[in-house]
Structure formats: structure tokens, C-alpha cells
Amino acid sequence: MSIIIRDAVSADIDTIHGFILALAEYERLAHAVKADRDMLQRYLFGTRPMAEVLIAEQDGKAVGFALFFHNFSTFEGRPGLYLEDLFVLPEARGAGAGKALLAGLARLAIERDCARLEWSVLDWNAPSIAFYRSIGARALDEWTVQRLDGAALQALAMRHQP
């Protein structure tokens, strides 16, 4: 029952979409999912990919995924990896897939000379927070996430146009 971590390929699009829907359900955000297979295909495997995905397989079956992309630290002067989503099917939890996905990301970060690996977690998700602490992750309590989207994003984009 070993876990294998591999890069996602275009043929994994249905699996990735399914994991996103399952994650949204777990996070009580199913109503917020707008991503469809075509969008994912374009942004993950198109001419200019915007993110990457690792797939965790156990006994030949996909049991989890990690979707990530590069960011950049001006203070470090080096890139980083930002983990947007990590999800393991409930029936596969506890077998090491989540830890294997994070270890795979850590290896990629080191191979790519990244200064760090970062992610966010919902404050009510105690099992995930405990898991992250168990692998040595620390909370950055002095930082809060800010978001600009929808009408506010559009309005700001329209200001100060050249």
C-alpha cells in the first residue's frame, strides 16, 4: 500500500476537477466553485500554465492532490511555492498521502531553489492544523489574508487607467 506522487497530466483533468469539488464540499464551499474542466485544462495544461498539480496514488488509484504555483519573495530575492489546495479522499486519510504530497512539494521547492513553501488553512479546520504542526509548519499569526475580487476588483482595475 505505498503512496506514489506524480505530476498531473492533461488526462487527469476529471480527477483534478473531482478533487476540487470534494474539497469544496469538505470546506462547506461547494456553492463557490466556478471552475470547470475546460477552465482547468486551459490554466493547468494550456500554452501558459498558471499552476501545477501533484497527484497521490495508492494501489494505482488517485487518492489526493496538491495544486500549487510559484510566488516570489522580494525580501528573500528568490521564488517560493504557494500551495493553493491539498486534499486527500476521506477513505484514504491516515495512510500518508497528505504527508507524501507535502514532501513532494518540499522536494520541488528545494530543487527549484525556493525560499519557502506556504499555504493557508481555514481557522476551524483543527485536524488539518494539527497535521501541519506535526510536520513542523508554523502559523504566521501576524499576517492576515486580503482578497480583492468581483465588483471591487473590476472597480479598481478601471481606476487610474493610462
Residue 57 contacts residue 63 (beta carbons within 8 Å): yes
Give the three cell numbers for residue 132: 501541519
Assess whether 132 carries a catalytic annotation.
yes
Give the three cell numbers for residue 134: 506535526
Q: Which of 26, 43, 82, 132 is catalytic?
A: 132
Give the three cell numbers for residue 95: 495512510
Question: Angle, to 10 degrees, between the axis of helix 37-45 and the axis of helix 13-26?
Answer: 110
Residue 4 contacts residue 56 (beta carbons within 8 Å): yes
Residue 109 contacts residue 80 (beta carbons within 8 Å): yes
Pairing, β 78-88 against β 61-73:
antiparallel
Catalytic residues: 132
